[in-house]
């Protein structure tokens, strides 16, 4: 994994490893997933030495994330996730300390992380097994919650870390320092620290900017700030953020990728920095992240023309279910 960091964030890297062992994590609760498993399993068994299918994605990932040891005795060469972005986040947490390349086949509503449309599963897997896929190194956030009583909690986020007030309490006040320099006191409903991967999640909904997926930088976005001058701030990935709960009328919730939930109180401190190694998500060679944005966010070009002009080099045939306005 160190090679990803050495190459530098923001660069796509070729995935040319030999794939002998494959783990398929499937969310069988989603429509059509079971039917795809029936087609995908024989396809993989013809091409790989060992194929393991786990149909209870959530349960398996929750179990694996709690282990101090690797989830499997022999690490898979590839993890294929059949689900949505939430399923990808669960899989990344399951392999948090023992990263394995993940290819996401989208059965969710959006699919920024699960980048392969379900209709394209066969051609995408053929690319991966033939060494034609690429790795998108995704920066993660390392966090340490330091309670006022001296206890601490550590975790890692691929998408975001969200501090938020309770439903029936007033605004919270959070003091932010970056690299030891005081920045401001945010009085707001909450505060989001997001990676580039998470910039299209909660941060975007709160008015934050969209970052290119493999950027190493991250963004701090206030939620409904009391001061209108408080705006999102983009920080370099070498930065160390320290947030102090300066004022809170009750318990503050700390959510990590929507999976880990912790309680924080006045006087607690949260230290955030970039995790040493980005996580290797796979996508097809030539995949266009800006087309992904257009399709997922429903961008349709200029208001002046019903038929926006698209450069020839940017034209791709849409897969089944693509291009819908969310």
DSSP helix/strand/coil, 312: helix
**Residue 269, C-beta contacts closer than 8 angstroms, at least 6 positions apart:** 145, 146, 242, 243, 244, 245
The mean per-residue pLDDT over the stretch 186-200 comes to 95
- Residue 146, pLDDT > 90, answer yes
Over the stretch 72-97, which tens digit does the pLDDT of each residue have?
989 999 999 999 999 999 999 999 99
Residues in the chain: 326
- Residue 306, pLDDT > 50, answer no
The pLDDT, as a whole number, for residue 168 is: 67
Question: What's this model's pTM, rounded to 2 decimal places?
Answer: 0.85
- Residue 8, pLDDT > 90, answer no
The mean per-residue pLDDT over the stretch 7-21 comes to 72
H helices present in 145-297, as ranges = 202-205, 289-297
- Residue 240, pLDDT > 60, answer yes
DSSP per-residue string spanning 143-160: EEEE-TTS-EEEEEESSE
- Residue 312, pLDDT > 90, answer no
Distance CA 224, CA 242 (A): 20
The pLDDT, as a whole number, for residue 322 is: 43
Q: What share of the chain is helix, strand, coil (3-state, %, to 5)?
A: 20, 35, 45
**Is pLDDT larger for residue 5 or for residue 24?**
24
How would you classify the pairing of strands 252-256 and 160-164? antiparallel
Q: Which of 85, 155, 217, 257 is the catalytic position?
A: 85
- Domains annotated for the chain, with CATH where assigned, are 9-138+287-314 (3.40.50.10330), 141-274 (2.60.200.30)
Distance CA 136, CA 17 (A): 15
- Residue 235, pLDDT > 50, answer yes
- Residue 301, pLDDT > 80, answer no
The mean per-residue pLDDT over the stretch 91-114 comes to 90
Question: Is the separation of the CB atoms in 106 and 115 below 8 Å?
Answer: yes
The pLDDT, as a whole number, for residue 205 is: 93
Q: Tell me whether residue 85 is one of the annotated catalytic residues.
A: yes
CA neighbours within 13 Å on the CB side: how many for 191?
Answer: 26
Over the stretch 269-290, which tens digit does the pLDDT of each residue have?
999 999 999 999 998 877 777 7
Burial class of 313 by CB neighbour count within 10 A (0 to 12, 13 to 18, 19+): exposed
**Residue 116, C-beta contacts closer than 8 angstroms, at least 6 positions apart:** 103, 104, 105, 106, 124, 283, 284
The pLDDT, as a whole number, for residue 49 is: 94
The pLDDT, as a whole number, for residue 284 is: 82
Percentage of residues in the chain having pLDDT higher than 90: 62
Q: Taking all residues of the chain, what is their mean pLDDT, rounded to a whole number?
A: 86
DSSP helix/strand/coil, 231: coil
């Amino acid at each position: 994994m160190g090679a990803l960091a050495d190459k530098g964030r923001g660069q796509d890297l070729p995935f040319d490893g030999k794939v002998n062992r494959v783990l398929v994590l499937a969310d069988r609760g989603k429509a059509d997933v079971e039917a795809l498993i029936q087609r995908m399993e024989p396809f993989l068994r013809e091409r790989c030495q060992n194929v393991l299918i786990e149909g209870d994605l959530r349960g398996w990932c929750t179990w694996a994330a709690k282990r101090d040891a690797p989830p499997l005795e022999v690490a898979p060469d590839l993890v294929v996730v059949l689900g949505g972005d939430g399923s990808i986040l669960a899989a990344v947490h399951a392999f948090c300390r023992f990263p394995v390349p993940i290819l996401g086949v989208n059965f969710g509503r959006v699919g920024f992380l699960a980048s392969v449309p379900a209709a394209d599963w066969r051609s995408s897997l053929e690319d991966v097994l033939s060494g034609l896929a690429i790795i998108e190194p995704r920066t993660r956030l390392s966090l340490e919650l330091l309670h006022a009583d001296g206890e601490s909690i550590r975790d890692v986020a691929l998408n975001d870390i969200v501090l938020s007030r309770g439903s029936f309490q007033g605004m919270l006040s959070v003091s932010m320092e970056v690299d030891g320099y005081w920045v401001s006191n945010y009085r707001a409903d909450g505060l989001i620290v997001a990676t580039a991967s998470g910039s299209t999640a909660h941060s975007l909904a709160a008015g934050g900017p969209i970052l290119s997926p493999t950027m190493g930088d991250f963004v701090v976005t206030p939620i409904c700030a009391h001061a209108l001058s408080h705006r999102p701030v983009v920080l370099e990935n070498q930065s160390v953020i320290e947030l102090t709960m300066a004022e809170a009328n009750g318990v503050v919730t700390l959510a990590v990728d929507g999976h880990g939930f912790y309680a924080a109180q006045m006087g607690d401190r949260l230290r955030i920095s970039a995790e040493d190694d980005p996580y290797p998500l796979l996508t097809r060679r030539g995949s266009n992240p800006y087309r992904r944005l257009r399709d997922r966010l429903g961008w349709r070009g200029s208001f002046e023309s019903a038929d926006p002009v698209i450069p020839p080099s940017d034209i791709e045939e849409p897969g089944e279910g693509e291009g819908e306005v969310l």
